[in-house]
Amino acid sequence: METTDVLVIGAGPTGLMLAGELALAGVRCRVLERRAETSNLTRAFAVHARTLELLDARGLADRLLPRGIPVREIAPAPGATVDLGELDSRFPMVLIAPQSGTERVLEGRADELGVPIVRGAEVTGLRQDAERVVVELADGGEESARWVVGCDGAHSTVRGLLEVPFTGTEYATHILLADVRLTAPPPEAMFAETGPSGAVVVVPFGDGWFRAIAWDREREQVPLDVPLPVEEMRDAFGRVAGTDFGMSEQRWSTRFLSERRQAARYRVGRVLLAGDAAHVHSPLGGQGMNTGIGDAMNLGWKLGAAVRGSGPPWLVDTYATERHRVGAQVLALTDTFNNLVLGYSPVRQFLQRQAVRLIVRVGPARRIVVGRLSGIGIAYPRGHGTHPWTGRRAPDVACGAQRLYEVLREGRFVLVDATAAGALAEEVEPSLPVTTVRARPTPERPDAMLVRPDGYVAWAGDDESDIAARLRHGVGRWCGSPARVS
Ligand SMILES: Cc1cc2nc3c(=O)[nH]c(=O)nc-3n(C[C@H](O)[C@H](O)[C@H](O)COP(=O)(O)OP(=O)(O)OC[C@H]3O[C@@H](n4cnc5c(N)ncnc54)[C@H](O)[C@@H]3O)c2cc1C
C-alpha cells in the first residue's frame, strides 16, 4: 500500500494550493484526483486582493498577474461604486483571471516542489484510527497517510464518508453559464447589470471567448439537465442589460444550482475539510476559490508542524476554529449580495440597496465592507489580554532591502524587530523556524511582530522593558518549543 504523510483529495485550487504548502513545510504529500485529465473548466474569475497577497507570500502573484486583467472599481450593489485604490495593499484590485489559469500556476508550483498528482484516482472509502487514515480507491486500491484533507469540492465524498452535516439551503434561481463569442463586447473587463428579471455578468477569457453568466427570473427553475441554447442566453441578456453584445458562437453551456451550505465540522480525527468541501455560497461576490485558497494557506503550515512534531498540540485545531468563522462570514456576505441582486421582496431589496449606497458613502463602513470582500479585513480571534494586533493581517512592511511578503516565501515565521535596540533575534532559539528581520519603527504598528507563515500576526509587542520576556513566551507558545532563556 502506498503510504505518505498527508493525502490531499482533489486537485482543484484548494488542493493544489495545499499541496504546495505542505511540500514547502517539508512534509511528504500526494494529491489524489478523480479526473483523468487536467480540468479546463472555469468557474471563478475574480481573484481578490488578499488572495494576491497570499500568493505573493509564496512568489506566485507575479506568475498570475500576467494571466488576468486588473479591475480597480467594483459595484457591491447597483448605483454603489467603490474605488479599490483606497485598499492599503500592494494589490488594490480584483484580478479577472480564469480559474483554469490560477490552477495552472498552483499546479506548476506543486510540480516544482515534487508533489505527485495522481489523476484518475477516485476516493470511495475511508477508515481511520489514532495513528493513520486509509483511503479506498474506485479501482480497488488503497493508500494510507497520517492525515487526509478533503479538498474534493461541493459534493465532497470525504465529507459524506465522515458523515459531517452540510447545513444550509439552495438558491431558487438556477445560474446559466455559457462560453460565447461577442461581436460587440462591453468595454469593461467585468460587465455586470441587474434588473427586475435578474442579473447578467460578462468576463473575458482573453482569447476571444467570453464567459456569459445569467440569473434569469423568467426561467429560473428550468431543470438542470435541459440544454441551454445560445438563444436563451441572448434573450436573458436582452431583457436584463438591453443588449446581448452580439452573442454568437457558443462552445459550452450549462445550468448550475447555487447553494449556501457549510460543513458543521472541519475536522474529524485525522481528516480535515477545506475549500468547497467545507463551504459553498452564491458566486456573487466571487468568494469561493478565494476562501479555499485562504483555507489551504491557513492549514498547510499547521499540518506541516503536526507531521514534523514541531508545533504545539492545539495548532491544527486552530485551523477549524479560525476558518469555520471566516467561512460563516463569507456565507453571510454572499447571501447579502444575493438578496440585494435577486431578492424577492421589492421593499426589502429597495431598503437594502439604499443601505449599501449609504455604506459606500461613509468611510469607516465602506472600509469594513471592502475589507470583507477583498479579504484584506480578515482577522483571527486573539486571546484575552493579548496585543490588539494579534490575529490581524500583517502589512507588507519594508525589512531592509526586502518586503515582509518576500521574506515569508520560505514558509517560516518572521519576527519583525522595530525596537530601538534591535536585539530581539537573540531571544529566539536558532533551531526554531523563525527568521528575524529589522524594520523601521512607526507609530501605526507595534514595535515587534511575530508573523505566522500565512501572513497573520501571532504575537505583537511594544518596546517596553519586559518585551524580551513577552516575546519568549509568544515564540514558545506558537513554535511549540521554549525560546532561548538568556
Ligand atoms: C458561476 C460561478 C462563478 C464563480 N466565480 C467565482 C469567483 O469569481 N471567485 C471565486 O473565488 N470563486 C468563484 N466561484 C467558486 C469557485 O469556482 C469554487 O469555490 C472553487 O472551484 C472551489 O475550489 P475547490 O478546490 O475547493 O473545489 P473544486 O474546484 O470543486 O475541486 C475539487 C476537485 O476534487 C475532485 N474530486 C471530487 N471528488 C473526488 C473524489 N472522490 N476523489 C478524488 N478527487 C475528487 C474534483 O474532480 C475536483 O478536481 C464560482 C463558482 C461558480 C459556479
Each residue's pLDDT tens digit, 319-358: 999 999 999 999 999 998 888 777 767 777 677 777 777 7
Rg (CA), the chain: 23
277 CA distance to ligand 1 middle (Å): 9
Which residue ranges make up each domain of the chain? Answer: 2-170+260-374, 175-257, 398-479
Of 276, 290, 337, the one to substitute when testing ligand 1's pocket (max ligand atoms within 8 A of C-beta) is: 276
Q: Which of 35, 41, 47, 99 to mutate to test the pocket of ligand 1 (most atoms within 8 A of CB)?
A: 99
- Rounded to the nearest angstrom, the distance between the alpha carbon of 44 and the centre of ligand 1 is 8
Q: How far is CA 377 from the centre of its chain?
A: 13
Residue 77 is predicted with a pLDDT of 64
What's the CA-to-centroid distance between 216 and ligand 1, angstroms?
23
pLDDT level of residue 484 (50, 70, 90 thresholds): very low
- Put simply, whether the predicted model's pTM sits higher than 0.85 gets the answer yes
Domain 2-170+260-374 sits in CATH at 3.50.50.60
Q: What confidence score (pLDDT) does residue 378 get?
A: 96
Residue 193: exposed, middle, or buried by beta-carbon count in 10 A (0-12, 13-18, 19+)?
middle
Q: What is the CATH number of domain 175-257?
A: 3.30.70.2450
Give me ligand 1 centre to Cα 73, in Å: 26
Q: Where are the beta strands (DSSP E) in 302-424?
A: 398-399, 402-403, 413-417
Residues facing 195 on adjacent strands: 198
Give the closest residue to 270 by CA, choosing from 312, 310, 322, 319.
319
Rounded CA-CA distance 8/147 in Å is 9
288-308 and 315-342 helices, crossing angle to 10°: 180
Mean pLDDT of 469-477: 94
Q: Give the model's pLDDT for residue 344.
A: 67
Amino acid identity at 368? I
The fold for domain 398-479 equals: Glutaredoxin (3.40.30)
User: What confidence category does residue 481 fall into, taking pLDDT thresholds of 50, 70 and 90?
Assistant: low
Select the more confidently predicted residue: 145 or 194. 145
In tens, the pLDDT along 317-329 reads 999 999 999 999 9
Does the pLDDT of residue 219 top 60, yes or no?
yes
What is residue 73's predicted lDDT score, i.e. its pLDDT?
85
Site residues for ligand 1, CB cut-off 6 Å: 9-15, 32-35, 39, 43-46, 99, 122-123, 151-153, 157, 175, 177, 213, 256, 275-276, 283, 286-290, 292
**Closest Cα partner for 338 from 156, 85, 179, 168?**
168
Which numbered atom of ligand 1 lies nearest the CA of 156? 38
| Chain mean pLDDT for the chain | 92
The helix/strand/coil state of 312 is coil
